[in-house]
Amino acid sequence: MQNFMNMSVKEVIEKNPRIGEILEEYHIGCVPCTVATCLLRDVVTIHNLPGKDEAMLMYRMEKELYPERNVQLREVAEGKEKEEFKFSPPMQELVDEHVHIKQLVAYISEVLELVAQDEDIDRDLLFNVIRFIREYADRYHHAKEEDILFEYTDRSLEIINVIMEDHVTARGHIQAVVDAIDTGNREEIISHLTAYQALLTEHITKEDEILFPWIDRGLTTSQVGEIYRKFSEADAELGSDLPRRNLEFLRTLNEKFASQ
């Protein structure tokens, strides 16, 4: 079983698709994940299942992977079940910022309808969307993850690499949109903004539901304080005008599309 635990989830599922179905039953969504390169052992650890659920999950996967073995269900001592997770203050800050980013990401569908239907491309609207993504989502939010939070983890872990790759891919899509606006290439604008929307939707879910709780559980009280202080310093360095003008833009989008 150890050999499979050290393989990527994608490889394991390719060898035996039933593993993906079993993981889904425990709300571990590796099948729809577009990357799924996390090691199987990390996936099990990061999701922090209650002891009995984890034991049953491991038992079922081992039976599926080694049908010839007489697999035994591991006994788990009685203990408290999984509790509803409460984020520490700095992690809650990141989750709260995700709320605004998800709002912008949702509005991309409305923006793309205008791009597809209007005779003239609304460059101002698109560049304001780009500004929000580059300023608020990237410089204000992603920078705190990359430059501060991830320093408190093992950066060699596959899940951290996946998240970092998402950031790079997202930036590539946005640069492609900028290039397409300059050339008036409507199809490329639609293609890359659609891809960005799908990527960020999945990305935020991975962070809110999997990565952030896992990181938070491993932080000491002292580390939580350090991260909170560093987040405040990073925000102060960028200034209050950056989040203010971008959140104001979100409000204008709401007013624009709510009336349609």
Positions of CATH 1.10.3910.10 in the chain: 2-65
Kindly report, residue by residue over 74-133, the tens digit of the pLDDT.
Answer: 877 665 455 567 899 999 999 999 999 999 999 999 999 999 998 888 999 999 999 999
Would you identify the CATH topology of the domain 89-258? Four Helix Bundle (Hemerythrin (Met), subunit A) (1.20.120)
How would CATH label the architecture of 2-65?
A: Orthogonal Bundle (1.10)
Q: Is the model's pLDDT at 1 over the cut of 70? A: no
Distances (CA, A) of 86 to 8, 83, 214, 226: 29, 9, 12, 18
Return the amino acid letter for 2. Q
Residue 39 buriedness (CB in 10 A; 0-12 / 13-18 / 19+): buried
Q: Give the pLDDT confidence score for residue 32 in this predicted structure.
A: 58
Band of pLDDT at residue 48, cut at 50, 70 and 90: low
Positions of CATH 1.20.120.520 in the chain: 89-258
Band of pLDDT at residue 44, cut at 50, 70 and 90: confident
User: What's the mean per-residue pLDDT of the chain?
Assistant: 88
Q: Using alpha carbons only, how large is the chain's radius of gyration in Å? A: 21
Kindly report, residue by residue over 5-41, the tens digit of the pLDDT.
Answer: 878 788 888 888 888 888 888 777 665 565 555 677 7
Q: Give the pLDDT confidence score for residue 37 in this predicted structure.
A: 57
Whole-number Å distance between alpha carbons of 209 and 215:
11
| Contact call for residues 79 and 55 (beta carbons, < 8 A) | no
Single out the residue of 132, 135, 116 nearest to residue 191, CA to CA: 116
Return the amino acid letter for 232. S
Q: Specify the pTM.
A: 0.76
Least confident stretch, 23-37, 160-174, 181-195: 23-37
Distances (CA, A) of 184 to 71, 93, 100, 118, 119: 61, 38, 28, 13, 11
Residues in the chain: 260
Which three-class secondary structure state does DSSP give residue 39?
strand
Q: Give the pLDDT confidence score for residue 13 in this predicted structure.
A: 87
CA 197 to chain centre: 12
